[in-house]
Amino acid sequence: MFWLDFMALSFAGVDDEVAPTSTRVWTVIEHTRFFAAIDLFPQGPWKAIAKDIGTRTPRQIQTHAQKYRDKLFRQSKAPKLPT
């Protein structure tokens, strides 16, 4: 589904804004779609990823991706506990 949406956006000239949503916690479905899209396109296009998720703006996607990358970086730098 994401790839088809991406291709449609490439040719459609979609507006920059998606209908704004209120600030709320990300759902499991939103996270699943986010992770699938980030695996394919780690640096965007944020508009296409937002369209695929459907409930978040490009800015929310970009911010979420930045926080996700920061979390991964912190986890990679955390001292390993002995097992």
In a domain, 46, yes or no: yes
Return all residues near 36 (Cβ < 8 A) that are at least 6 apart. 2
In a domain, 20, yes or no: no
Residue 40: domain span: 2-6+26-77
Q: Which amino acid is at 73?
A: F
What pTM was computed for the model? 0.65
Nearest to 18 by CA among 61, 64, 63: 61
Tokens of 2: 């994401």
Other beta carbons within 10 Å of 48: 23
In a domain, 83, yes or no: no
In DSSP terms, 42 is beta-bridged to 44
- pLDDT tens track for 29-65: 999 999 999 999 989 899 999 998 999 999 999 999 9
In a domain, 70, yes or no: yes
In a domain, 38, yes or no: yes
pLDDT at position 56, please? 95
In a domain, 17, yes or no: no
Q: How many domains does the chain have?
A: 1
In a domain, 14, yes or no: no
Residue with tokens 């394919």: 40
